[in-house]
Structure 1
Amino acid sequence: MMDPKQLFDDTALECSKLITQRYSTSFTLGIKTLCKKLHMPIYGIYGYVRYADEIVDTFHDKDKASLLENFRQDTYKAIDEEISMNPVLHAFQLIVNKYHIERDLIDAFLNSMAMDLDFATYNDSKYKEYIYGSAEVVGLMCLRVFCEGDQGNYEHLKHAACKLGSAFQKVNFLRDLKSDYEDRGRVYFPGVDFNSFDSHVKAEIEADIKQDFDEALIGINQLPKGAMLGVKIAYLYYLKLFYKIKSLSPEIITKKRIRIPNARKFALLVSTYFGYKVGWN
């Protein structure tokens, strides 16, 4: 018979797994190619950041600031008390406490979520602050899990993890340029006017993203073996999405959201898996 506490913990983590599966087919595919012992910790992180993001992006008829502040306080309480009756928070605190994820990473993440409530346009410093908190720190949380307590390896790979998170987020900004502006009134890229988004502006943004991808790849190829394939899947998916966006005109980017069909995501997973097995990096 399973220990009741273990059953409670496992059930909370299964909730975060379900959230990941419902919200992101690409990350679900990537997680499945991680070493099995890493699956639930990464689900626990994704479920938490996904629900925080939902507070600011979805519940337009609610007091989002109060919801987010309550979420913040409940997060810290769960971490300090090592329990929560909210399964998403309970799963997250399990991972935070087991892998010693720093409080300042969580602070930065929640601060970026709060920025979405207050900012419609971003200057350069706010843009960098937002990307660090909304994406780079999530990469660092995952890196804590991947390194499993190896502080030296964590420090060595921090820069690449941040660059990967940055690349992912900037690709998301390009992909969602239309919906962010029309549905939320946001333009994340500093100095960019949605109504005059042209090929010159697009090319400058893409050059910046490509540099992030290049620096991230150096670290991906040095990840612990159990994490490398899953992270590379996510990297290649976003790189493919990036090149698809790069091939399109600014007019198309401002009129539709760009996607990669699930069948192509699966084909990418299979080709990357077999490439990895025969020693391709």
Structure 2
Amino acid sequence: MKEASVADQQDFLGRFDAMSSKATATVIAHYSSSFTLASKLLSPKIRRDIEALYAMVRVADEVVDGAAAAAGCAPDAVAEILDNYERQVLLSLSVPFHTDPVIHAFGNTARKCGFEQAHIVAFFDSMRRDLSQTSYDPTQLDEYIYGSAEVIGLMCLKIFLQDSTASPQDRATMEHGARRLGAAFQKVNFLRDLAEDREGLGRSYLPVFTEEMRDEIVTDIREDLDAARLSIPLLPFGARTGVRAATDLYGCLVDNLESASLEDLKNGRIRVPSMKKASLATKAMWKEVFQK
């Protein structure tokens, strides 16, 4: 059998890389219309890396949120699946090829952007809590939010800054904004998924739910979003519009969550209409145009 040339080998890998990127784009398009819209406002290079990160996170989330159980896996088997997935994801930080397209694409992004192993471990620690923990005290909830959302924001920032330099002060501001934005997204999802989490998954991230508690969480989320907005002008141009659109979209969700009745929150998922999403995306683009 004729040995493949270096050029042939590079072509083989290039095709596999391209296929893996398309696979991760399919994942985000299938699971989230909001993040799909926001990601389309990112530069192509940044968008591919964000899709790779999102896809890895989504697969882990689906393992713990019921896909594995629905396939007939017992709780111990689900835990083993998550543990094995974490091992493979961590291995991708040093091994440049994986047969799983999502892990392969994620590994390419992680190595290129310098993801920290500790952030990935923290993420899987939070996912592991979802397999057995059903309620949270304030300290446990902060730990959960850090692993499930804040470290994702920090990895996104690594993607945004991969070709940029920033002063230590600006980087610290952006890191703070990335963590606060991730926390805001997670808290919004706690409110949006209140019924599904409690009735479908048997989880209660929030204690007994009242109007006062809803109002406190809404105020907290708005403070997170305000802190995140302060860092947006510091981001590279290729990231700013997409991040601004996602931030504004979640701000709109907060408004809807605040005006919804407790009965609506307990019985269904609050959404933003497609036309409103498109309007927010357009406004985000115009803001960037006028800021230049």
Question: Normalization by structure 1: what TM-score?
Answer: 0.93
Secondary structure of 1:117's counterpart equals coil
In the other structure, the counterpart of 1:56 is: 64
Deviation at 1:170, TM superposition (A): 0.1
Deviation of 1:177 (Å): 0.5
What is the total number of aligned residue pairs between the two structures?
A: 275
- Is the counterpart of residue 168 in structure 1 residue 185 in structure 2? yes
Q: 2:92 and 2:44 mapped to 1: Cα distance? A: 26
Matched, 1:230 2:247: no
> Structure 1, residues 228-276: CA drift from partner, whole Å, max 9, x if none?
1100000011110111111112222112111112232122212322333
1:212-236 alpha-carbon deviations (Å, 9 max, x no partner): 1111111122211111110000001
CA distance in 1, matches of 2:128, 2:135: 14
Q: State the one-letter code of the partner of 1:256.
A: G
2:4 corresponds to which residue? none
Q: Which residue of 1 aligns with 2:205?
A: 188
Task: Note the residue ranges of structure 1 that are not aligned, 5 or more in a row.
Answer: none
**Cα distance in 1 between the residues matched to 2:146 and 2:270:** 24
Bigger Rg, which one: 2
Query: 1:124 pairs with 138, 149, 158, which one?
Result: 138
Matched residue, 1:242:
254
Instruction: Return the alpha-carbon distance in structure 2 between the equivalents of residues 93 and 76 of structure 1.
Output: 8
The separation in 2 between residues aligned to 1:33 and 1:186, in whole angstroms, is: 34
CA displacement at 1:134 relative to structure 2: 0.6
| Equivalent pair of 2:197/2:203 in contact (CA under 8 Å) | yes
Residue by residue over 1:97-134, the C-alpha shift from the partner in whole angstroms, topping out at 9 and shown as x without a partner, is 00110000100011110010121001111101110111
The normalised TM-score by structure 2 is 0.90
Amino-acid identity (%): 37
> 1-side partners of 2:173 and 2:225: how far apart?
17
Question: 2:90, 2:120 within 8 Å by CA — same for their partners in 1?
Answer: no
Amino acid at match of 1:104: A
Q: Tell me which residue corresponds to 1:12.
A: 20
Partner letter of residue 230 of structure 2?
I
Match of 2:175 in 1: 158
User: Contact conserved, 2:195 with 2:265, CA < 8 A, in 1?
Assistant: yes
The code of the aligned residue for 1:247 comes to: S
**Alpha-carbon contact 1:143-1:154 (below 8 Å) kept:** no
Task: Report the aligned-residue RMSD.
Answer: 1.6
